[in-house]
């Protein structure tokens, strides 16, 4: 009940979306993102390059999900110690933990293989929330977490057996586990937020639209830069990007892609947009054209901030 209460506030918007727009994922969508055996043996870590070479002739993995050799070894040790008669006497409580997390891990492993393995299809047909999922491979996170719990039992047993040297051994194993999973991190240069947002963050809360408003499906992902910038002001926005695109956004995006125009201002009026931000640097060589086309609408706009990169306006009236 506690888990349901904690998840409910985040689940309700998806339920409302399903009721209003019929939002759901089909089983066909899940096939593409289902795990295979190669997925559980694929790793990006330097120490596992030999493993990737070993499965090079196997079917291409759909995700990288190998948990590491040490978690597997200690997970197996924890499992054996908990289920064997000798081990269960020494670790009576741990046996219950292994049964719980072992069962959960096996079910998660089974369902991560998607519709072809059967269990995912059964859950999809039985539990409504599964129609919201797209990638069964992400269930592998549960597999790794369950393995981690069982591996911790094996580690604990090692500490007990080794006595005073147990903690040192546990520390050494932990460092080795981190070293085993070491990989190159693709660091990215931090985005420089335009200065105009320093004004936006102090504005009265009202909807905002940012331009260029990318209308083509192949360019929708470029709206994510506006989503990043929105963390400086938290105003509601017409821009956005997600795996699910509402039909209204599809229609409006095509019109707003032609901003500035009477049709685009009509869409902004319908959405009750009060502020617009125009990123001149993103328009590139078209910036001067956009400035010229914006002139006839200047009487409807009140400048709030402007520099080389962007201008922010308040819409005081609509044409």
pLDDT digits (tens, 9 = 90+) for 58-73: 999 999 999 999 999 9
Among the listed residues 118, 111, 145, 90, the one whose alpha carbon sits nearest the alpha carbon of residue 33 = 111
pLDDT tens digit string along 114-147? 999 999 999 988 887 777 788 899 999 999 999 9
Residue 88 confidence (pLDDT) above 60: no
> Would 123 be classed as within a structural domain?
yes
> Would 159 be classed as within a structural domain?
yes
What's the pTM value of the predicted model, to 2 decimals? Answer: 0.74
> Would 72 be classed as within a structural domain?
yes
Domain boundary (123, 154, 180) is at 180
143 and 7 housed in the same domain: yes
Strand partners, 303: 313
The whole-angstrom separation of Cα 26 and Cα 133 is 9
Residue 233 confidence (pLDDT) above 60: yes
231 and 176 housed in the same domain: no
> Would 191 be classed as within a structural domain?
no
284 and 230 housed in the same domain: yes
24 and 151 housed in the same domain: yes
> Would 298 be classed as within a structural domain?
yes
173 and 216 housed in the same domain: no
271 and 311 housed in the same domain: yes
Q: Read off the tokens for 179.
A: 């070293």
Residues in the chain: 319
User: What is the per-residue pLDDT for 197?
Assistant: 92
Q: Read off the tokens for 55.
A: 């499965």
> Would 33 be classed as within a structural domain?
yes
Please tell me which residue, 269 or 131, carries the higher pLDDT value: 269
The whole-angstrom separation of Cα 240 and Cα 125 is 31
174 and 301 housed in the same domain: no
The string of DSSP codes covering the chain is -HHHHHHHHHHHHHHHHHHHH-----HHHHHHT---TTGGG---SGGGHHHHHHTTTSPPPSS-----HHHHHHHHHHHHHHHSHHHHHH-HHHHHHHHHHHHHHHHHHHHHT-GGGSHHHHHHHH-GGGGG---GGGGHHHHHHHHHHHHHHHHHHHHHHHGGGHHHHHHHHHHHHHHHT-------PPP---TTHHHHTTSPS--EEEES---SGGGGGGGHHHHHHGGGT---BS----SS--HHHHHHHHHHTT-SSHHHHHHHHHTT--EEEEEHHHHGGGHHHHHHHHGGGGGGEEEEEE-SSEEEEEE-S--
148 and 204 housed in the same domain: no
Domain boundary (150, 180, 210) is at 180
- Count: domains in the chain: 2
**Lowest-pLDDT choice from 44-53, 150-159, 280-289:** 150-159
Q: Read off the tokens for 24.
A: 């759901």
> Would 46 be classed as within a structural domain?
yes
CB atoms within 10 A of CB 236: 13
> Would 190 be classed as within a structural domain?
no
157 and 240 housed in the same domain: no
Angle at 288 between CA 286 and CA 291, to 5 degrees: 110
pLDDT tens digit string along 193-228? 999 999 999 899 999 999 999 999 899 999 999 999
Domain boundary (118, 151, 180) is at 180
**Lowest-pLDDT choice from 9-13, 187-191, 275-279:** 9-13
pLDDT tens digit string along 13-47? 777 776 666 666 778 878 888 999 999 999 999 99
151 and 20 housed in the same domain: yes
Q: What percentage of the chain exceeds 90 in pLDDT?
A: 59
Domain residue limits at 149: 2-180
102 and 28 housed in the same domain: yes
Task: Match 């105003």 to its residue by tokens.
Answer: 235
65 and 202 housed in the same domain: no
Rounded to the nearest integer, the mean pLDDT of the chain is: 89
């Amino acid at each position: 009940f506690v888990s349901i209460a904690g998840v409910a506030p985040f689940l309700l918007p998806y339920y409302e979306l399903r009721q209003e727009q019929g939002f759901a994922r089909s089983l066909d969508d899940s096939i593409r993102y289902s795990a295979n055996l190669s997925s559980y043996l694929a790793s990006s870590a330097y120490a596992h390059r030999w493993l990737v070479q070993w499965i090079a002739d196997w079917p291409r993995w759909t995700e990288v999900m190998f948990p590491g050799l040490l978690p597997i070894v200690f997970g197996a040790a924890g499992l054996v110690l908990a289920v064997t008669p000798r081990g269960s006497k020494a670790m009576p409580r741990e046996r219950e933990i292994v049964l719980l997390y072992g069962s959960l891990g096996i079910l998660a492993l089974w369902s991560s293989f998607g519709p072809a393995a059967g269990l995912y299809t059964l859950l999809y047909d039985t539990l409504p929330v599964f129609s919201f999922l797209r990638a069964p491979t992400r269930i592998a996170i549960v597999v790794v977490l369950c393995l981690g719990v069982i591996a911790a039992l094996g580690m604990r047993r090692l500490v007990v057996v080794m006595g005073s040297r147990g903690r040192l051994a546990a520390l050494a194993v932990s460092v080795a586990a981190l070293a085993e999973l070491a990989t190159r991190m693709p660091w990215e240069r931090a985005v420089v937020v335009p200065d105009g947002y320093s004004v936006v963050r102090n504005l009265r809360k009202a909807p905002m639209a940012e331009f260029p408003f990318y209308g083509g499906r192949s360019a929708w992902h470029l709206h994510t830069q506006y989503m990043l910038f929105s963390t400086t002001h938290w105003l509601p926005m017409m821009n956005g990007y997600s795996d699910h695109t509402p039909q209204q956004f599809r229609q409006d995006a095509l019109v707003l892609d032609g901003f500035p125009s009477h049709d685009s201002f009509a869409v902004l009026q319908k959405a009750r947009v009060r502020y617009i931000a125009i990123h001149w640097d993103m328009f590139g060589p078209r910036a001067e054209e956009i400035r010229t086309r914006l002139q006839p609408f200047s009487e409807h706009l009140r400048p709030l901030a402007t520099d080389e990169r962007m201008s922010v306006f308040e819409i005081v009236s609509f044409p």
